[in-house]
Structure 1
Amino acid sequence: MLHVLGPGFLAGMAGNDASAITSYSVDGATTGYGHLWLLLLSTPLYQSVQFTCAKIGRITQMGLAEILRKHYSRWAAIPASLILILANIALVAADLVAIGSGLELFTGLAWFWFVVPVAIILWYLTVYRSFETIKHIFIAMSLAFVTYIITAIFSGANWQAVLFHTFVPQVSLSFASISSAVALLGATISPYTMFWQVQGEREEARAGTTKQKVRGASLDIAIGVVGGNLVSFFIIVCTGATLFTHHQNIKTATDAARALAPLVGPYAKYLFAVGLIGAGLVAIPVLIASTSYCVAGTFGWPSGLSKKPWQSEGFYLILTVGMLISLVVALLHFDPIQLMFWANVLNGVLSPVLVIYLIFVGNNRKIMRGRRMSWIANMGLVLTALVMFAAAALLFYGLATGQGG
């Protein structure tokens, strides 16, 4: 089984970055079990999006931005790049703050003291590929969030209500509920996982024919998507059973950690901190690298973390500038929880635009070499775009009518 796991599994699990974990926690604390049905719905939608990305990457052997530039025009690639850049800068900033918040739980020092050194260390590890040697340690740390599955058993959750809200949609049009729904969708189906899946499948070595490779990629993605969303499901159950039930809002990382208290009691904040730090450390290099791959593909620059900085100057320049801009955003002293939450709201607004790109690329006979997406995959993509555009429209309506405060 392990030989099947590749970029799909990494994208699915790394999609639960620190900001996503926080957004799911806020959703559970705000709406209880009310959005479990939306998470269930997003699972096959996310699968269809990531499978499309994998198939595109496997068949074309190009990144998404490179495909758009070569088969359409640079002007078709630039908007997609801008979407990814905007979303990723927000997420990297949010994850830097999240790592700082995790370290604050351990040390008692304010989170912003840690942001600059963490950014410098992660930049160095990414540029000089040392990150690969310790990536598995960070992934193991992020797996601390798997304890939410165990904690749910001890949380006193109303399992009848959990099942009801999982399979029976309950729609609330309050601004808090809508914004939380958009954040949930954005945390689950994010721009960077699309670009990363295309790029990762291009570089992943799989044995067999193209058809066998695509089948292997599908299984890889399914394991990542289901595994990642299962963790997300239990995060919402835990926070719904503990924080929502007792009318406790999440204003700090310590508040979010209380959801783990039924399992580990006073050690909850330390376990949460380990997961928060590990998830952020895994995600940030992926985020800044995917941004660099995208921009390099848009302008036809040589790219790749396997290249030395002087062999791919534009690629590493974008990587460095992206980290610096994210660092500046992180140091603007936004409320940490709000920054992490609204970064995923932004994802939820921008992602459906990229899904439209995928529909055009995946159904282009020339690009796909006669292996266009099936009607089932196309239905999944169209439904994904419709659901996310509808949620974004309700969000903007709430903002326009002053519901957002």
Structure 2
Amino acid sequence: MDKGWLNKLGPGLITGAADDDPSGIATYSQAGAQFGYGMLWTLLLTYPLMVGIQAVSARIGRVSGHGLATNIRRHFPPWLLYTIVALLLVANVINIAADIAAMGQAASLVAGGRAHWYAAGAGILSVLLQVTLPYQRYVRVLKWLTLALLAYVATALTLNLPWGRILHAALLPKLSWQPDYITTVVAIFGTTISPYLFFWQASQEVEELRADPAAQPLKHARQQAGAQLRRIKIDTVTGMGFSNLVAMFIMLTTAATLGAHGVTQIESSAQAAEALRPIAGDFAFALFSIGIVGTGLLAVPVLAGSAAYAIAGAMRWRNSLELQLTGARKFYAIIIGATLAGTALCFTGIDPMRALYWSAVLNGVIAVPVMVVVMLLGARRSVMGTLVIPPRLRVLGWLCTGLMALAVVAMFATLG
């Protein structure tokens, strides 16, 4: 594989991989178990829309030289900024709790022992990695962790899949207005299009900018724009494609095994792994479980880091994973506090599925206004200079925003 092409992968790849966190794995597993191959079309639909909104977020970071929270603070009312940031923090902590709980359960299934202690170890390890490793080394760790997602590709490829039926279901789906069907579609949209991913990718572009002494915000260095915008495009298209491809293989695995054997209710990613064992064998079970732990180690830092970038940007605090702990105490305090708070929730007897449910509700509430703000920022010359987002990205971004708004309306309709 071309090393130059690999070097173009970073923020987009990590963002896409983090989207397939243990919470997402549970959602895709449930979709496959309950509806077989009938939900694959959602991944084909969300892919270009994800590329659009994530590319806009990345461009804002690289062109302006600031993360989303800083740009929102500079161009929108304080009440909007603080509401978005507060809801993001709460949703991320709940999501961290659900992910760490799933990691503990998966590790316990494979190695034995108490799930809670594995969860505690995962939370502490995540904190140590973020606090002790400089950004450039930490990014290399996260890139390697994306390989954990290949476990789901490998799991599916151990099965004898009916590719003709799969292609037909993906391209010519049978749609339904049944409440369970609509709820699952909304859950998939909410899982694939999440506000924390916007904040993370924009902030990682700023980190990449700071890490290169020769780089400048593109609004002030038009000569660098061509190469950097091409890199962002390749990175985002690849990262979101990888994310949706893995989600597809998770659906395929659970559809061909659990769904085909009448197991249609999955309440966690660990339960999906455990249910695979008697149907697909120990090897598939082990791969699925190891993938949960690996993706959790990737996703938890992204959840905690995106919250820290958002709060630090809103409060004008120094923020960078390249800085040492003593150079950005408040920033790292948010990372540590969010991760440990999520870990502590695992010891409270909180229902992981209820946690996921409320996290999805909060993410749905936040997503639409954040996406509207992102699109408005991307079109403002005061933010982007002459590098405002082009028409094609505007169309994709606003389509994604409109689709998410419909998903949120559907979500609240199902709450009734």
TM-score normalised per structure 2: 0.87
Residue identity in the other structure for 2:170: T
User: Which of 177-186 and 150-159 deviates more?
Assistant: 150-159
- Report the Cα distance in structure 2 between the residues aligned to 1:34 and 1:349, rounded to whole angstroms: 27
Aligned to 2:372: 356
Q: Summarize the Cα distance change of 1:313–1:266 in structure 2 as closer, same or farther, 3 Å threshold.
A: closer
Residue identity in the other structure for 2:307: T
Offset of residue 260 of structure 1? 5.9
Please, which of 252, 258, 275 is the counterpart of residue 237 of structure 1? 252
Aligned to 1:196: 200
Aligned to 1:365: 381
Please, which of 268, 286, 294 is the counterpart of residue 284 of structure 2? 268
Aligned to 2:105: 101
Moved over 6 A (4+): none
- Report the Cα distance in structure 2 between the residues aligned to 1:259 and 1:150, rounded to whole angstroms: 17
1:44 maps onto 2:44 in alignment: no
Aligned to 2:188: 184
Alignment of 1:210-225 (within 5 A): 210-225=225-240
Offset of residue 330 of structure 1? 2.5
Show CA shifts across 1:134-164 (max 9, x none). 7756765653442433443553444333222
SS for the counterpart of 1:215 is helix
Show CA shifts across 1:25-63 (max 9, x none). 111112222221111100000000111011111110001
Please, which of 54, 64, 68 is the counterpart of residue 64 of structure 1? 68
- Report the Cα distance in structure 2 between the residues aligned to 1:129 and 1:327, rounded to whole angstroms: 21
- The answer for unaligned runs of 5 or more in structure 1 is 401-405
Aligned to 1:87: 91
Aligned to 1:127: 131
1:289 maps onto 2:293 in alignment: no
Aligned to 1:403: none
**How many pairs are equivalent?**
400
User: Which of 106-115 and 139-148 deviates more?
Assistant: 139-148
Aligned to 2:322: 306
- Report the Cα distance in structure 1 between the residues aligned to 2:385 and 2:116, rounded to whole angstroms: 50
Residue identity in the other structure for 1:316: Y
SS for the counterpart of 1:104 is helix
Residue identity in the other structure for 1:242: T
- Report the Cα distance in structure 2 between the residues aligned to 1:132 and 1:283, rounded to whole angstroms: 18
Q: Summarize the Cα distance change of 1:319–1:159 in structure 2 as closer, same or farther, 3 Å threshold.
A: same
Residue identity in the other structure for 2:323: K
Show CA shifts across 1:255-304 (max 9, x none). 41267669972233322221111111111122111111110100111112
Residue identity in the other structure for 2:342: S
Offset of residue 115 of structure 1? 2.4
Offset of residue 318 of structure 1? 1.9
Aligned to 1:327: 343
- Report the Cα distance in structure 2 between the residues aligned to 1:262 and 1:379, rounded to whole angstroms: 47
Show CA shifts across 1:315-360 (max 9, x none). 1222232223322333232344564566446434532221111111
- Report the Cα distance in structure 2 between the residues aligned to 1:84 and 1:221, rounded to whole angstroms: 22
Aligned to 1:391: 407
Contact 1:185 1:348 in 2 (8 A): no
SS for the counterpart of 2:333 is helix
Contact 1:38 1:169 in 2 (8 A): no
- Report the Cα distance in structure 2 between the residues aligned to 1:23 and 1:131, rounded to whole angstroms: 31
User: Which of 51-60 and 121-130 deviates more?
Assistant: 121-130
Superposition RMSD on alpha carbons, in Å?
A: 2.6
- Report the Cα distance in structure 2 between the residues aligned to 1:148 and 1:327, rounded to whole angstroms: 25
Contact 2:368 2:405 in 1 (8 A): yes
Residue identity in the other structure for 2:409: A
Offset of residue 252 of structure 1? 5.3
Aligned to 1:172: 176
- Report the Cα distance in structure 1 between the residues aligned to 2:392 and 2:29, rounded to whole angstroms: 32
Contact 2:149 2:294 in 1 (8 A): no
Offset of residue 122 of structure 1? 2.1
User: Which of 169-178 and 17-26 deviates more?
Assistant: 169-178
Residue identity in the other structure for 1:36: L
- The answer for unaligned runs of 5 or more in structure 2 is 216-222
TM-score normalised per structure 1: 0.90
